[in-house]
Amino acid sequence: SRSANAASSARATGINQVVQFSVKEEPLDEDSSDEALFSHISHSLEENSIQLLFLPYSDTQGGNLEFHELIPRLMGSHGESIPTARINLVAQRTGLFQKIDRWLLEHALSVLDQRRQQGRPTALIIHQSMESVQDTSNLSWIREQLRLRQLVGTGIFIEFDLADLAANLKQAKSYIRSLQEMGINVILSRFIGNETAFKVLGFLKPDCVRLSKRLVKAKQDKIDAITGQLQKRQIKIILPRIDNPSRIPKTWEQHADLVQSDFFSA
């Protein structure tokens, strides 16, 4: 299968390689406890044994950057992929989100540094949690990581769940502004395009939004209305993650700035 091939390739090639994979995940054994998963995640972070998979995107504006979403993949004891939702739930309960976020960001910066040395201009999308927004030491840590690698203003797109940020919009706004001042682009995901969502966009001022899957089958007039408002605000449009990108209606593809590709290219 695609996911099996990806797992094998990722283990063999390391973090700076591009491998094909499916975003589909297998369920974790029902008898796996939160405590056991917490221990497994913690050990994997310490041992640097989490896989990094690259989901490619096409820039419809024809830019010269290679666009990828960098996705961590944690394998269970039987070789199954542990569902992201389960990992997130345990991370939230146990305070692991900040460690996971920093691990992912640090590795993303390492990939960008390697790609730069190879002469391959690259942009990476990574997801970060509200817990990192609330961590008062995080911004200074990010600045130092960028300074050490001389990567200020190059290549990182940090994605936050819009619903998560809604719990503390004032704090989120300050954090987003600080990231943007470092040259980091900010994406807000699960954007549903209603009046409230647009008010939040006006307050937070992200660089991009990732549409909610609920909007994929929207009617033409709604698509035109949403994309018109986003383009007026100069906010880039990213289509939602799906297992089969060919299912995205052409109408959305015509308006999107970044679309998920069907395959990887090394």
| Per-residue pLDDT tens digits for 24-67 | 444 444 335 888 888 888 888 888 888 888 999 988 877 788 99
Where b means 16+ CB within 10 Å and e means fewer, 63-102 reads eeebbbbbbbbbbbeeebbbeeebbbebbeebebbbbbbb
Domain ranges of the chain: 2-260
∠ Cα 237 243 245 (to 5°): 50
- The pair of three-digit structure tokens given for residue 252, joined into one six-digit string: 């959305």
Q: Of the given ranges (30-39, 68-77, 87-96), which has the lowest mean pLDDT?
A: 30-39
Beta bridge partners of 156: 124
- Poorest-pLDDT segment among 85-89, 156-160, 167-171, 259-263: 259-263
Mean pLDDT on 170-194 = 97
Q: Is the separation of the CB atoms in 82 and 74 below 8 Å? A: yes
pLDDT at 9: 43
2-260 is classed CATH 3.40.50.300: no
pTM, two decimal places: 0.82
Tens of pLDDT along 110-125? 999 999 899 999 999 9
Q: What string of H, E and C letters represents the secondary structure of the chain?
A: CHHHHHHHHHHHHCCCCCCCCCCCCCCCCCCCCHHHHHHHHHHHHHHCCCEEEEEEEEECCCCCCEEEEEEEECECCCCCECCHHHHHHHHHHHCCHHHHHHHHHHHHHHHHHHHHHCCCCEEEEEECCHHHHHCCCHHHHHHHHHHHHCCCCCCEEEEEEHHHHHHHHHHHHHHHHHHHHCCCEEEEEEECCCHHHHHHHHHHCCCEEEECHHHCCCCHHHHHHHHHHHHHCCCEEECCCCCCHHHCCHHHHHHCCEEECCCCCC
CB contact set of 31 (below 8 Å; sequence gap of 6+): none
For the chain, give the number of residues: 266
Q: Whole-number mean pLDDT of the chain?
A: 83
Residue 116: what residue type? R
Reading phi first (left if > 0) and then psi (alpha if -120 to 50, else beta), residue 169 is in alpha
Residue 10 has pLDDT above 60, yes or no: no
pLDDT for residue 259 is more than 90: no
Would you state the pLDDT for residue 147? Answer: 92
